Structure formats: C-alpha cells, structure tokens
Amino acid sequence: MATQLKKSIISAFKMHGLTLRSEASSYLQDVLEPVDSSEREQWLDKIIDIVQKQSLSSAMVGKEVCEAAVQECNAEQEDDKESIFNVIDAFSIPRFKYSKERKKFIPESTLLKTPKLHGEASDKGEMFRDRYTVLHQRTLRHSLFTPPSLGSVNTDSNKFQLKPVEYLVGSTTKVGNVIVLGMLVQLKEGKWFLEDPTGCVQLDLSNAEFQPGLFTENSFVLAEGHYEDGVFYVDAFGLPPPEKADTTRSYFGNINFFGGPSAIQVKSSNRLAQIESENTDAMFVLLSDVWLDNGRVMDKLNILFKGYSEFPPTAFIFCGNYLSSPKVLSQAKILTDCFRDLGNMLSQYQNIIDSSKLIFVPGPNDPGHSTILPRPTIPNSITEAFRKKVPSAIFSSNPCRIQYCTQEIIIFREDIVTKLCRNCVRFPKDGNIPMHFAKSIISQAHLCPLPLHVSPVYWAYDSSLRLYPLPDVIVTADKFDPFSTTAVATTVINPGSFLRTDFGFKVYYPASKQVQDSQVTDEIDRTLISSDTMNTTEIPFSQAVDSNISLSDSMEIQ
C-alpha cells in the first residue's frame, strides 16, 4: 500500500514536469499516509500547485521545497477555519479585466496599472467598456445566441445572432430583424441612442415593447428591430440574459471574483457546507435608516437587543443614515455622541457583544469623504469610543461583501430602487417594482446601472459594484417599501426604513435561505413579532420553444 502511494506521488509530480528526489518522495509519503484516501489527491494537488509557484532552479524537487509546501498547506487549512465569517471592504475586492483574445479574466495587477481614486479620463471609458464586455461575453454564451458547433446542421430556428452597432451604421440599405447589445444613452436632448464600442445609432422607441425591468440611461439593453435611414426602429427592448453563479464559475475556474477566501475553496468546502446546514439557528438581522439621534429608535433598539440577548444572532447589520437629518456643521460631533450612547446600551448585553458581529454600513448622508460610490467607512475618530466598548463591531464600506460559510452576501445602502424608478425611460405598467428591480440589477450585473450625474462612481473602482458571478444574497437598503424576492437563485432583500416601517426589519436564515419579516413592539414579553417565512420562488430565464417566437418573447424573464 505504501509503495503504491509513493508511486502515485512520483507520477503526479512527473505529470507536471517535476522530478522528486528520493528523500522528498519518502517525506511526502509519510505526510500523506495518515490522510484519508479520498482526500489524498486533493492534498497532493495543493502541494504541487504551491511547489510550482516557488522559484525552482531546476525540475528536480528536494525535501526542503516539499516541507515548505506542506507548511503552507497547513497554514491555508488554518485560514480555512477562519473563513466561516468574513467582511470584505469594497476597496480590497479583486479587480479583473476580460480579455476577448484569451477569453478569460485577467487580474488587473498583472497589467501594471495602479488604480487611482480620482482617475484619468481614460478610466471613465474603460469603466463602461468593462461593463459591456462582461455582459457581451455572458450573452454570447446563452443558449439563444450560441452558434451551432462546427460541422453540425443548424436545425434550431430559435437561435439569434448578436450584431454590433457598426453593422447597422455601415449598411446602405434597410436592415431588418436585427438584435444589438448596447448602452442606452441620451446624446441629444429628447433623443435616445444605442452605443457600443463600435459606434452609436439613434433609436426610435415609439413602437417599442418593453420587457420587464427598469430601463435607465447608461443601462445595457438588448434591442430588436430594423434599421433604416440612420435610425434604428426598436420593436422590443429587453435586458441581457442573466447567468447563474455556478455556470459562470464553470467557465472561469478558480478565479476569486468575490474577494476574501477563494470562492471556489469556500464553495467546495464540505466542512463549511456542513456547518451552514447544521447551524439552523444562524440568522442575520437587517436594519436600515437606524437614526441614533431619535429617541424612539434608541428605545426600540434597546428592546431589540433585549429580545435577542438570550439567543444572539450571527450578525446585526445596521445600515445608515445614522442621523435623521444631515447637520452639516455639528454632524460629526453629534454622531460621535450617538455612537457613544449606543455603546453604553450594548454594554448591558454582553452576550450579544461576545457572540454577534455588529456591522455598520454608512448611508448617503453620513459623515465621510464624499457621496461617490464606493463609499469608505465612517471615520475612525467618530467610532473610536464605540469600538472600545464593542470590540466585535465592524465598520465597513458601502457597499461591502460578507462571506458566511459557502454563501456570498452583498450589502448596499443606497436609495437605488427609488432612483431607478425616477430615471427609467418607461415606468412599468404592472407596478411590481421589486420584481422589475431584481431583474434589472441581476441582468445588468451591477448594483448601480445609473448615469454618473445621478449616482457618481469612482471610475477605477467600478468593479466593486459588479454582481458577477451572482452572489447568494443582495441587500439593497432603500427607503422604498420592504420586500424580498428571488431571481436566478439570488435573493434580493430590502429591509426598508426602520422608523418609517413602524420599526420593521428583516431576518435572513442562511441554512434555509429564507427571509422573515419582523417588527419591534412595545410588549416586554413579546419583543419580536415575525410573520411567516416568505416563500420566494426562483425566476428562471425562459427558453424559446416555438419556431416563430421572437426575441421579445424569448428574452423575457418569467
């Protein structure tokens, strides 16, 4: 048995062009022999991967190199123990650029380009080009746009071909039944254009049929119609087709888009999956507009903490604004005093301080450097006294990302629902705003598909707002009415304003992936009143099933 193990170790290294010295193979044999046979191959692959990353003078691998690789593997295993709960700042998220030639994402660190907070003019163009290329490569992979394989007979009449804008502009005759992916822009007042990296074309939307979603300026759309005399007459407007996170990862391997521990390592961890499923009591309490200068809000928070003191949740997630109105001159001093009062309140509930994470995400009107996204944390000078009393508190950026076991959660505090509704080209007739909103941000693969004059973004850090691959949960804390909906295996939650919803909030259970409506009442013996857990249903991407179906029908998300 030992001889067979040694042979497999030597063979595995040879497959990667490496040769083990005899003492090195004996050492690895001793290391891997106690490991369960089902896990040996995985451990051996990790060791080889680490060895390949080292600076080797030759293909001959000695014992010292193997010892260093095993120690690094053990260190990674220890890090994995800490990967149950991680909060990831927006400014530390890995940044990738899609290469059309290589058909893969390349880390921007390899491009020798250091991001600047206040970028150059070229960064603005790169921002929109990156948004386009992410959606373009994703759309081309969808079954409706995938060309038939080489040598096969194309019998599927439901296939569509994507054309660039230059295909229209370069035509001298009428072009009918064309589908174009581009960005909706208003280059002239009252006139809409469709733009992509190859050019722009004027649109006629008078007869356009809008599919579900909120279409705003600077959002990317699939437009179907015909081109004549310099104008593209749109018959149907739809959003780019979404893609499940598992499908995305199957194409791009172990790239860590999310940040923190490797997404593939976390997603494939049986230990973390077991912890997640067994810990049915784990919960995230979500509150927005927690006005610490309001007496009623502080009283309700005290009741909330008292109600959870015996069974503390995994995390309290508080979203700003933390003051009821921006007080420009004395804002910082008032908020410092408010956090000090909150710390004094929490000091009465030591069980919560010891067992729960308290995460604070700044709102648009909270003190900070600017209102440009992503927004940095609240200055330490304001929160210093609070953090001394509550060491478990985490002040993060807006947006921020949370990795809990195998789940990826994004927290975003912005009145994004309200802004999208206010700036959409045509308001939906059915009034089901939560459904339209969820479809929009998921299809756009972006938290804020709005014009920069409506919601400014740091150009070089636009990737921190990207939803690609799709996370498990998106929390968009908005003053809009509370809601919870699911689309493409992603749950979208809006807890609503804490005071304006009569002290309502949301509770998310990771084990069951369910969302619960809750409310703080005045009753001492029943502090938390919760409704039945919401039964959210996945919104799949429908397929073209009829030979005469048009894109306007097939690209609709049911």
**What is the C-alpha to C-alpha distance for residues 8 and 371, in angstroms, rounded to an integer?**
58
Instruction: Say how many C-beta atoms besides its own lie within 10 A of residue 326's C-beta.
Output: 12
**What is the C-alpha to C-alpha distance for residues 240 and 222, in angstroms, rounded to an integer?**
6
Residue 6: predicted pLDDT? 86
3 is in which domain, residue-wise? 1-76
**What is the C-alpha to C-alpha distance for residues 340 and 393, in angstroms, rounded to an integer?**
13
- Do residues 65 and 51 touch, judged by C-beta distance below 8 A? yes
Give the long-range contacts of residues 114-123, CB within 8 A, separation 24 or more: 115/460, 115/461, 116/460, 117/458, 117/460, 117/461, 118/458, 119/458, 119/459, 119/460, 123/459, 123/460
pLDDT in tens, 548-557: 334 444 444 3
Question: Measuring CA to CA, how many Å separate 102 from each of 243, 306, 527?
Answer: 21, 56, 57
- With CA atoms as reference, report the closest residue to 434 among 506, 530, 375: 506
4-13, 135-144, 346-355, 513-522: least confidently modelled range: 4-13
pLDDT in tens, 210-251: 999 999 999 999 999 999 999 999 999 999 999 999 999 989
Residue carrying structure tokens 């959003």: 239
CATH number for the domain including 61? 1.10.8.60
User: Whole-number mean pLDDT of the chain?
Assistant: 87
- Note the pTM of the prediction, 2 decimals: 0.82
Residue 416: predicted pLDDT? 97
One DSSP character per residue, 217-247 reads TT-EEEEEEEEETTEEEEEEEEPPP---HHH
- The C-alpha angle with vertex 375 and arms to 373 and 379, in degrees rounded to 5, equals 160
**What is the C-alpha to C-alpha distance for residues 448 and 270, in angstroms, rounded to an integer?**
34
pLDDT in tens, 124-167: 999 999 999 999 999 999 988 987 665 555 555 567 889 999 99
Residue 297 located in a structural domain: yes
Strand partners, 398: 375
- Do residues 61 and 51 touch, judged by C-beta distance below 8 A? yes
Residue 159: predicted pLDDT? 78
Residue 419 located in a structural domain: yes
Residue carrying structure tokens 């990317």: 220
**What is the C-alpha to C-alpha distance for residues 224 and 187, in angstroms, rounded to an integer?**
20
Radius of gyration of the chain (CA): 26
One DSSP character per residue, 91-152 reads GGS--EEEETTTTEEEEGGGGT----SS--HHHHHHHHHHHHHHHHHHHHHSTTTPPPPTT-
Residue 209 located in a structural domain: no
pLDDT in tens, 168-177: 988 877 888 8
Residue 542: predicted pLDDT? 29
Residue 218 located in a structural domain: no
- Of 48, 76, 104, which one is at a domain's C-terminal end? 76
CATH number for the domain including 502? 3.60.21.50
Tokens of 227: 């081109």
Residue 556: predicted pLDDT? 42
Residue 111: predicted pLDDT? 62
Instruction: Say how many C-beta atoms besides its own lie within 10 A of residue 118's C-beta.
Output: 9
Residue 63: predicted pLDDT? 87
Q: Tell me the backbone φ, ψ of residue 346, rounded to 5 degrees.
A: -65, -25
- Of 76, 100, 122, which one is at a domain's C-terminal end? 76
Residue 152: predicted pLDDT? 53
Residue 93 located in a structural domain: no
pLDDT in tens, 183-205: 999 999 889 999 999 999 999 99
Mean pLDDT throughout 111-134? 87
Residue 237 located in a structural domain: no
The one-letter code for the residue type at 284 is F
Residue 37: predicted pLDDT? 75
Q: Tell me the backbone φ, ψ of residue 111, rounded to 5 degrees.
A: -95, 5
Residue 551 located in a structural domain: no
Residue 543: its H or E element: none
Residue 130 located in a structural domain: no
One DSSP character per residue, 316-343 reads EEEES--SSS--TTTHHHHHHHHHHHHH
Tokens of 468: 């690609």
- Total number of domains constituting the chain: 2
Residue 79: predicted pLDDT? 52
The secondary structure of 340-403, three-state, reads: HHHHHHHCCCHHHHHHCEEEEECCCCCCCCCCCECECCCCHHHHHHHHHHCCCEEECCECEEEE
- Of 45, 76, 107, which one is at a domain's C-terminal end? 76
Residue 531: predicted pLDDT? 45
Residue 75: predicted pLDDT? 65
Mean pLDDT throughout 479-499? 96
Percent of the chain exceeding pLDDT 90 equals 61
